[in-house]
Amino acid sequence: MRLSRSLCKVVGDVIANTASHAALESLFFSAGAPGEPPQGSHGTKWKDWLYLTGQDKEVDSLSVLGGVIEEFMDLPPKQGSPEFFEWSEKRERVEAALHDNGFRYYRFGRILPLGHIPADDIPYEETLRISQQPVIPHKVEALLERLVRGLQRAMHPSLTEEKEVKT
């Protein structure tokens, strides 16, 4: 699914102030975002990376988007705190942007087209099975390209450890 610039902007704005560059890069890699992080300011980087993910036909962009926003959407701050009020406003903004683009967020990082699968009709075990199914390329060339691109992401933790050992 293509992700609109407006949706990517809202998500980028919301998550930009929640963590450091390194933490958000790790979040994007673990969510399956392809390639290296784009250059730019904190907010621009995340917006652009989501947008580029949404343009890649070999990537399940809704799964990546869901993985990126899951923690933010599912873990509210303590109710009644000033952080809770701010979180509620930001969450509503994300939900409105998703709705404007024809999507809805469900717990555990699932984003589906409006009216696609009602959340209440799916048992928990089925929810996990659906959300954990990988996107399988239909051509050998696409599979090889995904493997090669994934090598760098797979090596990312060991490269980080290697840098820490040297410093």
Which tens digits make up the pLDDT trace of 60-85? 999 999 999 999 999 999 998 989 99
- Contact status, residue 92 vs residue 76, Cβ threshold 8 Å: no
- Residue 44 located in a structural domain: yes
Do 156 and 29 form a contact (C-beta atoms < 8 A)? yes
How large is the average pLDDT for residues 128-134? Answer: 54
Handedness of CA 41, 55, 126, 112 (dihedral sign): positive
Token pair for residue 49? 């990376």
How is residue 9 annotated by DSSP?
A: H
Q: Is position 140 within any domain?
A: no
Q: Domain limits at 9?
A: 5-135
- Distance between CA atoms of residues 90 and 14, nearest Å: 6
Q: In the structure encoding, which two tokens stand for residue 81, read together?
A: 């705190």
Question: Could you tell me if residue 67 is inside a domain?
Answer: yes
Indicate yes or no: pTM above 0.75: no
**Residue 151 belongs to some domain of the structure:** no
| Within-domain flag for 144 | no
Q: Whole-number mean pLDDT of the chain?
A: 79
* Tally of structural domains, the chain: 1
pLDDT digits (tens, 9 = 90+) for 24-46: 888 888 888 888 888 888 778 88
Decide if 29 is inside a domain.
Answer: yes
Rounded CA-CA distance 153/134 in Å is: 16
Look at residue 56 and tell me if it is in a domain: yes
Q: Is there a domain that residue 121 lies in?
A: yes
| Confidence at 98, pLDDT banded by 50, 70, 90 | very high
Percentage of the chain with pLDDT > 90? 28
Q: In angstroms, rounded to a whole number, what is the distance separating the alpha carbons of residues 100 and 80?
A: 29
